[in-house]
Structure 1
Amino acid sequence: MKDRIAKAATHEILQRGLKFSIRDVSDRLGISTKTMYQHFESKEQLIGFIVEQSVLEMQEKEKELMGDASLSTGQKLNQALTVLPSGFAFSDIRALDELRKLYPEQWMKMDHYLTQGWDNIRLLINEGIANGELRQFDVELFIQVYIGAVYRLMDVQAVGLRGLKLEKALSDMVEFMLIGIRFVNKKEE
């Protein structure tokens, strides 16, 4: 039942952002709010559960990528930097910003993953440098630029990216970081 409730709450977040109510979720499921409160004591607890499940799914997807022998190091790196859980409740950058501003305790779980979960990325980068797929560069600076860019994207008012989907933003950002914006002369390759 917890998973059903979380899925319904995810639909509400995708439609309304974090301004949904427990009543909205219970109505979507056709159950009483009393039943909802038997599984989640509060809206904050429900949001925390969704965040935890999202982080676990991202970690699992990253683990699968690391073991996928059919992908090159560069492909693994690209996919690992853009991994999101399926049906991600915070796929709209505004909802992610709302999480950060309105639910700081729940945001800390997402923030921890964003700022601390870099071991596999470091491994991929070092592997790419060792096999000649990537040039030598400052890995820690790369990580800080990535984190800074994600935080800047969440500053919706400053950036003015209304309705921008996180998946598209991450994909474009990672393309800028891994490939750049320079035209490559075929003779240089």
Structure 2
Amino acid sequence: MLKRIRTEALNLMNEKGINFTIADLAKQLGVSKRSIYDHFSSKVNLIEAVLNEILSDLQVQIQEIVNSQQLNTIDKLSALLTASPKALGPLSSRVIVDIKRKLPEQWNKFEYFFDARWQEIEKIIGLGIQQKQFRTFDMRIVQQIYRGSINELYEYQFLTQSNQTFQNAIAAMTDILIFGFIATDNRQPSN
């Protein structure tokens, strides 16, 4: 029942932001509000449980990617840059904006996760540079490009106007970030 409550809560969050009510959730689940309050003391407690499960899932994914023996360096980098929640499902851009504005303590947990993920990304890029798969560049600039792109791709209007999901937009951004604009056949060696 707990997983069902969290999953449906995430569905409502993606649809309505964090402004959904416990009554909305109870109706979707076909249970009484009391049934939900038996498991969660408040709506905020429920939202925190959903977000904590998402972060936990992402942390497990990151460790699996980093420790994978099947992925090469480029595949690890791509997987790290595009990792998204699988346990309950993805977060919509609307939820991200709500969390940033209305639940700053929860958003700080996401920021901490992003920082930890970036450290793993830097290690993989460093390994790729050692292996001569990547060229040397200023990592601070790449981090700003990546974080700036993520922030812009969260924009609900952009996603709806371009008929994109956040995951598809991240995948496209990652492909451009890793492989650039120039087709492999057209690359000229630099002097």
TM-score normalised over the length of structure 2? 0.86
Counterpart AA for 1:48: E
Distance 2:81 2:19 in 1: 29
**Do residues 74 (structure 1) and 74 (structure 2) align?**
yes
Distance 2:26 2:48 in 1: 18
Check whether the contact 1:47–1:106 (CA below 8 A) recurs between aligned residues: no
Q: CA deviation at 1:186?
A: 5.2
| Letter matched to residue 35 of structure 1 | S
Q: CA deviation at 1:22?
A: 0.9
Identity %: 27
Contact 2:100–2:107 (Cα < 8 Å) also in 1: yes
Q: Which has the higher contact order (CA 8 A, sep 6+)?
A: 1
Aligned to 2:14: 14
- Structure 1: distance between partners of 2:156 and 2:166: 12
CA contact (8 A) 2:159 2:166 kept: no
- What SS is found at the alignment partner of 1:46? helix
Report deviation, 1:187.
Answer: 7.0
The unaligned stretches of length 5 or more in structure 2 are none
Aligned-pair CA distance for 1:188: 4.1
Task: State the match for 2:33 in structure 1.
Answer: 33
Q: Any stretches of 5+ residues in structure 1 without a counterpart? A: none
Instruction: Confirm whether residue 49 of structure 1 aligns to residue 45 of structure 2.
Output: no
1:1-189 superposed matches below 5 A: 1-86=1-86, 87-90=88-91, 92-156=92-156, 160-162=158-160, 164-185=164-185, 188=188
Number of equivalenced pairs: 186
Alpha-carbon RMSD across the aligned residues, in angstroms, is 2.1
